[in-house]
Amino acid sequence: MLLLMNGLYTPIHLIANSPLTGSIADVTNSAAWEELMHATINGITLAYSDSGAGLPIVFLHAFPLNRTMWAQQEAALSSQFRVITVDLRGHGESDAPLWRYTLDQTAEDVRALLDHLAIQQALFVGLSMGGYILFAFYRKYANRVKGLVLADTRAQADTPEGKEGRFQMAQIAYKQGPSAIADLMIPKLLSPATIQSRPVIVQQVSAMIESTQMSGIVGDLMAMAERPDSVPLLKQIACPVQIIVGGLDQATPPADARLMAEQIPQARLAIIPNAAHLANLEQPEAFTKIVAALACELA
């Protein structure tokens, strides 16, 4: 695996000697690593988990998934860091109110959850929609951000065709239900090899999508369609930033990751081979090691 650091590609093993206690494989099978909690935030109930101690790392999930997509990262990293995963508004076990959604509002939920947990600053990890939310969060609360991991995401706003695609997807969700969204999205989220030969991952992703409420799916589609262009923000991001992308990601391809790496002053880029959009699920050990390396620097 290659990392782009200050314009140079370096092998991942040079920076990713595991700082974790025990191997990642040892802890991913543990069922006892987390406890689900709830907080009333901005008039709704948010479900989250909070495990471990040390530097807080807050994980924001992709669309239309939930916090359980981070299970392997949480299990591995909570031996050394305080790991918070949250079901964003509209997802998982959090409330999914039937109303207008915006990414600014979701960023407000994250800020309120940090206040609830008495966390002043954290390392944030956002994948895809989670990354879009981190741009909204950084615009308002840069002082709460110690570092960012922007994974399989992009800074650009939707194109007109992209917005039209969101509208079409909302109609499919409304008429045919979340399982039609799962059928539509799985080929965009996972690599062909994973779809063919790793049924557990496919089932996990399908189950997350199928359990997402309609109000959350449609609300997020509208919120993502309306999000602003974050490219002008990139040069202003002053904290250390790790960008990660699956080499096979077609939803937010490596070219989008390179654009962010070129514009953000303190950015480095890791391209994970044999992973598509959900790089943290398809290559969990590689993904976790990259996050751990930045967390160790910031701790």
Q: Which residues bind ligand MLT (CB under 6 A)?
A: 62-63, 128-129, 224, 251, 277
**Cβ proximity of 44 and 97 under 8 Å:** yes
* Nearest approach, Cβ of residue 189 and ligand MLT (Å): 7
User: Which C-beta is closer to ligand MLT: that of 72 or that of 128?
Assistant: 128
- Closest to ligand MLT by CB, 62 vs 295, is 62
- Compute the least distance from the CB of residue 36 to ligand MLT, in Å: 22
Least distance in angstroms from the C-beta of 214 to ligand MLT: 17
Shortest CB 251 distance to ligand MLT, Å: 5
Q: Which is nearer to ligand MLT, 12 or 185 (CB)?
A: 185
Q: Which single residue is written with the structure tokens 């109110």?
A: 97
- Residue 134 Cβ vs ligand MLT, minimum distance, rounded to whole Å: 12
Question: For residue 297, what are the CA distances in angstroms to 20, 266, 292?
Answer: 13, 13, 9
Sequence length of the chain is 299
Which residue, 12 or 217, is less far from ligand MLT as judged by CB?
217
Least distance (Å) between residue 63 CB and ligand MLT: 3
Q: Which residue has the tokens 């997802």?
A: 91
Residue corresponding to tokens 């081979």: 273
Pairwise CA distance, residues 279 & 249, whole Å:
8
CB-wise, 51 or 106, nearer to ligand MLT? 106
SS3 state of residue 2:
strand
CA neighbours closer than 13 Å in the CB half-sphere of residue 276: 15
**Rounded to the nearest whole angstrom, what is the least distance from the CB of residue 128 to ligand MLT in the complex?**
3
Sheet holding 8-11, edge to edge: 8-11, 2-5, 267-272, 241-246, 145-151, 122-127, 56-60, 82-86, 44-51, 36-41
How near is the Cβ of 7 to ligand MLT at its closest, in Å? 28
Q: By Cβ distance, which residue is nearest to ligand MLT?
A: 128
Nearer to ligand MLT, 55 or 224 (CB): 224
Q: State how far the Cα of 281 lies from the Cα of 292, in Å rounded to an integer.
A: 16
Cβ-based nearer residue to ligand MLT, 75 or 224: 224
DSSP-assigned letters across all residues of 93-136: TS---SS---HHHHHHHHHHHHHHTT---EEEEEETHHHHHHHH
Judge contact between 203 and 78, C-beta under 8 A: no
Nearer to ligand MLT, 63 or 124 (CB): 63
Return d(Cα 216, Cα 89) in angstroms, integer: 7
